[in-house]
């Protein structure tokens, strides 16, 4: 406890770090307040059906990502997920389309152009999703819950549809802008932090609901609830090991003499992360898994049949199987675009470094690529297993809302974003020669793959 208070005092002494943290908190406050601003023309007192619809299933997961904005019929109801979906499409195009490949090689100017295209695509996606969401809101509310109605046709008029579609588009763009401001002037990665804040906002309700359920409905009492908490802590610790785990590759640097000084001649290590892609594979896979519910108009999954029902049931076999395989695929995909073994081998060669027993150049690149492939496989499988854990624990009697925190996107994002933010704070403290949040000062965050904004 003494260490914590000392760290807080050190943070307060660094003006830039203090300003960045306060700026981040201010942006987060704006985002949370916006989650309760209801779309014009909708009576906030008539949202009981919306909240019931979003209490479980895939809509419940979507509501958690938006911090409750979805069930509140808020101006931020569609949240940041359309931007994530647009980012997926652009990055996939970067692998297949020469134009996007050329932009990726153009440095800062190319990155700005890609970001601009991503924003345009985000607008297009929200423009498609917004009418479906509005139609769902209308279907869930009684006539007196929406005003004014067109008396001739007993339903909302064209202005209601147009204005709220524009507002939902502007809401998503504003949330995206808030995330970019956090990245530029705050602490942590803004887009990821906004997703995390939405998840954390639902945690107290889920925790309290599970406690009440154990005491009154499901049985088991306080003992079962404590067992669930212990299991949750164990899963969190395993997730932290997954995020921080590395495989060290020894690199020997040859001796170099510059003037009268001798450099090199020492062995160092390259830490290759078991999960170099961070939590991006699970965010991207989840964004794609939201597509079926979007295509059918945010309909309650209980009323669906066939293909749509199978892929909107987050506790079903086919949903989790496809989700599992997609996470494994995106882990390899993101590792491939994040880490370039050829570039690493070239940099080592230029600096007089080599891996003992491996020839510099092409052989070194192949050696690093083989190691990455071997350590990425168990990392991706474990990542996918943690992702589908909510479906497994729900079969054991854990409530649907609370089960989201037993792994899945929720837990991985929470752990990944918290570690990444702590790492940035740690860096500021160490640069000013203050002790960090840990004795070693070696908090490991996510990889650069998490930087999306």
Is there a common fold for 16-187 and 208-453? yes
| pLDDT in the model for residue 261 | 52
Q: What are phi and psi of 258, to 5 degrees?
A: -120, 110
With residues binned 3-state (H G I as helix, E B as strand, rest as coil), the percentages for the chain, rounded to 5, are 70, 5, 25
Sequence-separated (6 or more) residues with CB below 8 Å from residue 335: 276, 277, 372, 376
CATH top-level class of 16-187: mainly alpha
Instruction: Report the largest interatomic distance among the alpha carbons of the chain, rounded to a whole angstrom.
Output: 93
The pLDDT value given to residue 233: 81
> Does 3.90.79.10 match the CATH number of domain 208-453?
no
Quote the pLDDT of residue 158.
80
Cα angle at 381 between 376 and 385, to 5 degrees? 145
Q: What is the pTM of this model?
A: 0.74
d(CA 146, CA 301): 24
Pairwise CA distance, residues 1 & 407, whole Å: 28
What is the CB neighbour count within 10 angstroms for residue 355? 19
Helices (H) and strands (E) in the chain, counts: 18, 7
Query: What is residue 271's three-state secondary structure?
Result: strand
Q: Can you name the residues that pair with 366 across neighbouring β-strands?
A: none
Q: How far from 24 is each of 15, 199, 200, 286, CA to CA, in Å?
A: 14, 17, 16, 26
CA atoms within 13 A on the CB side of 152: 2
Contacts of 79 (CB under 8 A, 6+ apart): 62, 65, 66, 67, 69, 70, 172, 175, 198
pLDDT along the chain (453 residues), means of 10: 70 82 92 90 79 71 80 88 85 81 83 90 90 84 61 63 92 92 87 84 78 72 81 78 72 57 61 76 79 65 61 79 89 82 83 80 86 85 83 76 70 77 80 58 45 47
Query: Which pLDDT score is estimated for 451?
Result: 46
The structural domains of the chain, with segments of one domain joined by +, span: 16-187, 208-453
Q: HSE (CB half, 13 Å, CA atoms) of 93?
A: 15
């Amino acid at each position: 406890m003494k260490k914590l208070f000392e760290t807080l005092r050190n943070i307060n002494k660094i003006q830039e770090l203090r300003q960045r943290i306060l700026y981040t908190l201010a942006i987060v406050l704006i985002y949370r307040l916006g989650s309760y601003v209801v779309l014009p023309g909708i009576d906030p007192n008539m949202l009981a059906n919306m909240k019931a619809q979003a209490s479980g299933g895939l809509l419940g997961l979507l509501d958690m990502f938006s911090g409750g904005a979805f069930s509140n019929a808020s101006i931020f109801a569609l949240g940041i997920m359309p931007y994530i979906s647009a980012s997926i499409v652009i990055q996939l195009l970067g692998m297949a389309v020469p134009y996007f490949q050329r932009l990726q090689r153009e440095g800062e100017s190319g990155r700005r152009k890609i970001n601009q295209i991503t924003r345009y695509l985000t607008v297009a996606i929200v423009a498609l999703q917004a009418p479906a969401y509005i139609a769902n809101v209308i279907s869930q509310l009684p006539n007196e819950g929406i005003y004014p109605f067109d008396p001739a046709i007993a339903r909302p008029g064209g202005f209601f549809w147009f204005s709220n579609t524009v507002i939902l588009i502007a809401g998503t763009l504003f949330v995206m802008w808030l995330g970019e401001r956090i990245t530029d002037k705050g602490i942590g990665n803004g887009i990821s932090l906004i997703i995390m804040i939405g998840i954390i906002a639902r945690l107290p309700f889920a925790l309290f609901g599970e406690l009440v359920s154990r005491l009154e409905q499901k049985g088991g009492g306080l003992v079962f609830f404590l067992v669930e908490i212990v299991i949750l802590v164990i899963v969190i610790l395993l997730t932290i090991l997954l995020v921080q785990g590395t495989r060290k590759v020894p690199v020997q640097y040859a001796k170099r003499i510059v003037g009268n000084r001798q450099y090199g001649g020492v062995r160092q290590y390259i830490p290759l992360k078991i999960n170099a892609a961070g939590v991006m594979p699970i965010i991207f896979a989840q964004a794609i898994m939201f597509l079926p519910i979007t295509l059918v108009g945010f309909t309650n999954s209980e009323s669906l049949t066939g293909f749509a029902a199978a892929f909107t049931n987050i506790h079903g076999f086919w949903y989790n199987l496809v989700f599992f395989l997609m996470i494994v695929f995106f882990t390899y995909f993101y590792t491939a675009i994040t880490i370039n073994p050829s570039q690493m081998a070239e940099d080592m060669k230029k600096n007089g470094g080599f891996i003992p027993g491996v020839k510099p150049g092409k052989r070194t690149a192949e050696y690093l690529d083989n190691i990455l492939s071997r350590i990425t496989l168990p990392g991706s499988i474990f990542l996918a297993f943690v992702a589908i854990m909510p479906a497994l624990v729900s079969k054991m009697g854990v409530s649907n809302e609370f089960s989201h925190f037993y792994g899945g996107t929720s837990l991985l994002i929470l752990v990944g974003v918290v570690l990444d933010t702590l790492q940035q704070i740690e860096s500021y403290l160490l640069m000013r020669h203050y002790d960090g949040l840990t004795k070693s000062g070696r908090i490991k965050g996510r990889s650069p793959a998490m930087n999306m904004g």
